[in-house]
A and B are shown apart, each in its own frame.
Chain A
Amino acid sequence: QVQLVQSGAEVKKPGASVKVSCKTSGYSFKTFGISWVRQAPGQGLEWMGWINTYNGRPNYAHKFRDRVTLTTDTSTFTAYVEIRSLKFDDTATYFCARESPRSSYGMDVWGQGTTVFVSS
């Protein structure tokens, strides 16, 4: 079945970087783009960016353009999000999600989420 499995929780200090992975299985990786969405504790969903898994081109939300990099490894069907210069308010759960043209570009399959805790 289609699955997105994310890497485990991270604890980082302010100013550090973190890289979260999203390993996909059960479908053709290059056929569906991957978005990253974050959710701060008790808050709503925030779209961070999307990557075209066919050609590796990303599209970032304005807010994340300077500190976030989206990449893929097509040999392992894995997507990554790297966040640099971490701040306390980057503490959140980070989700990857598959974007599906068949669902009118809705996000039809999600990873389980990765908690990133930024603390000094």
Chain B
Amino acid sequence: DIQMTQSPSTLSAFVGDRVTITCRASQAISTWVAWYQQKPGKAPKLLIHKAVNLESGVPSRFNGSGSGTEFTLTISRLLPDDSASYYCQHYSNYAWTFGPGTKVEIK
């Protein structure tokens, strides 16, 4: 089975900062990665699909990149509303695997 890891597990940044979260797969997975945002007590929200595609309605300050085994989610200018946990997810043949998550805090 393919394993997904994320780094860092927690990050703290100032409003306006550029923030990058990295997700790595245990083997090459092309671009079959999605990114989700989850706020406490809420369901996750799809941000990015197929590594680079912004889901409809998601602000353009969110950007996804990568292929193969390394993927990144970048928030270009951090806003207070971006305080949340972020998860990468791999899809293959109607099976999905989540990364362990990254908690983003505002300083």
Contacts and interface: CB of A to CB of B under 8 A. Distances in A.
A75 B97 CA distance: 30
Interface string B76-91: 0000000001010101
A47 B97 contact: yes
Contacts of A97: 43-44
Given A95-B44, A106-B46, A113-B43, A44 B91 contact: no
B96 interface: yes
Nearest to B35: A106
Contacts, number: 74
Contacts of A59: 94-95
Given A103-B55, A106-B89, A111 B43 contact: yes
Given A45-B44, A107-B89, A108-B55, 19 more contacts: A33-B94, A44-B87, A44-B101, A45-B36, A45-B38, A45-B87, A45-B98, A45-B101, A47-B97, A95-B44, A97-B43, A104-B34, A104-B49, A104-B53, A105-B34, A107-B46, A107-B96, A108-B46, A111-B43
Contacts of A33: 94
Interface string A67-110: 00000000000000000000000000001010100011111101
B49 A103 contact: yes
A80 B87 CA distance: 25
B98 A106 contact: no
Nearest to B93: A59
A46 B55 contact: no
